[in-house]
Amino acid sequence: MALINRLDSRDPGFKSALSKLLAFEATEDESIDRAAAGILADVRARGDAALVEYTQRFDRMPGVSAEALEIPKADWHAALAALPAAQRNALEAAADRVRGYHERQRVETWTYTEPDGTMLGQQVTPLDRVGLYVPGGKAAYPSSVLMNAIPAKVAGVQDLIMVTPTPDGVRNPIVLAAAAIGGVDRVFAIGGAQAVGALAYGTATVPAVDKIVGPGNAYVAAAKRRVFGVVGIDMIAGPSEILVICDGKTPADWIAMDLFSQAEHDELAQSILLCPDAAFIEEVQAAIERLLPTMPRADILRVSLANRGALIQVRSLEEACQIANDIAPEHLEISTEQPEKWTAQIRHAGAIFMGRFSSEALGDYCAGPNHVLPTSRTARFSSPLGVYDFQKRSSLIQVSHQGAQQLGRIAAELALGEGLQAHAASAQYRIDKP
């Protein structure tokens, strides 16, 4: 098996080869979906009793009580106090930058008044209460706690409830420290579909929320899909992807490592380079060969690059931008001179990293923008997680006495055309009788 796939946009079979490389369909496992549905129904019906039973069984916490599922605030602050100074400083610096960026996303209530006194607008309010799912085990990333918690708090969410499984009762101190820094309000040591059910329906111990965000395993994803409508949910994330457009003048080692930084997430992650310079592509290939054996996650990198990675020679940077729009990547690095020129040609991408110094890793942790981004081509229609995901709008309509005269006639005409006579009469009642 080749180290990494090689394609050329001049080849007649390029389009189909690229499609094949990109193809990814989340396998919908009926048995997982049924199991999640059963757990949800049980938590809805029996509340804490069911929640405790599933937690005892799945997280191997025999004898745990409902009250003991909450991790007290003092424990997270102790975890924060116990962090090495360098790690604590880095987390706090990242949190400050993420907060500063997201504060610029907050939307405010707006109104305008027409000459006849009619006022229109939108009242913007935060969600009351949000649930944040944080996976346990190897995917427990403190940076994800910050990236999900901070936009919610910037939006003004009063109650931010974090849930995270603690298998065998083992807590992740960095995740708890991140909860303290991120402004989380309560933490429960629960996970899986049972945690999603507790957040969606509420139990005596866990309060019902209005929206659930954060990544999780297949059971969590299936449970989130099922409770959508009862509560809001964020996107269901697919495998992570990076697309690098390079003019061939960035050090080849940098580009190789940028491709690695995506591929190391898991075997399904996708790393692709688009470059018009054949010699540079050879340099990157050589850098990959040289650097890969030095990486602690070499086994994951090998599988991910061989199955899903590619070095693609393109005719030009213009063509690279067109291909990028077709791919609609989660992360797009434009490692060129004058990156703003190419950025203007990009219509679909979760995040655009412009210039040779903007490695994706900086955005993942601390540049400021969110690292929760649309995957699997969904950047065609969706956006990074943001403050706007935790605010909502109510239309404001205050029609004046005078305004009701003109609007009432229009509304009545249209309502009668649709056969809705009560609508018409309700509008006509507000018209002054001659």
The question of whether 330 is a catalytic residue gets the answer yes
423 is in an annotated binding site: yes
Tokens for 368, please give them.
Answer: 């400021």
For a second copy, the closer of residues 63 and 433 by Cβ is 433
Establish whether 401 is an annotated binding residue: no
- 331 has catalytic annotation: yes
The answer to the question of whether 105 is labelled as a binding residue is: no
371 annotated ligand-binding residue: no
Least distance (Å) between residue 32 CB and a second copy: 16
Choose the catalytic residue: 330, 333, 360, 371: 330
The candidate with the shortest Cα–Cα distance to 383, out of 395, 393, 394, 369, is: 369
To a second copy, the closest distance from the beta carbon of 227 in angstroms equals 12
Quote the CA–CA distance of 375 and 242 in Å, as a whole number. 10
Residue 168 CB neighbours (<10 A): 7
Q: What Cα–Cα distance (Å) separates residue 5 from each residue in 243, 304, 333, 434?
A: 14, 11, 19, 79
Q: Which residue lies nearer to a second copy by CB, 55 or 370?
A: 370
Residues forming beta bridges with residue 391, ordered by sequence position? 126
Min separation Cβ 120 and a second copy, Å: 5
Give CA separation, 92 vs 109, 365, 366, in Å. 31, 11, 10
Q: Which of 54/219 has CB closer to a second copy? A: 219
> Which residues touch 94 (CB under 8 Å, ≥6 apart)?
143, 146, 365, 366
**Could you identify the residue written with the tokens 């799945």?**
58
418 known ligand binder: yes
User: Which CB sits closer to a second copy, 314 or 407?
Assistant: 407
* Residues in a beta bridge with 113: 119
364 annotated as a binding-site residue: yes
| Shortest separation between residue 56's beta carbon and a second copy, angstroms | 29
Among 360, 357, 378, 377, which Cα is nearest to 369's?
360
Between 69 and 150, whose beta carbon lies closer to a second copy?
150
Nearest approach in angstroms of CB 71 to a second copy is 20
The amino acid that residue 420 corresponds to is L
Catalytic residue among 331, 333, 360, 371: 331
Catalytic residues: 330-331
- Residues of each annotated binding site for Zn(2+): 262, 265, 364, 423
Residues that constitute the known binding site? 133, 194, 217, 240, 262, 265, 331, 364, 418, 423
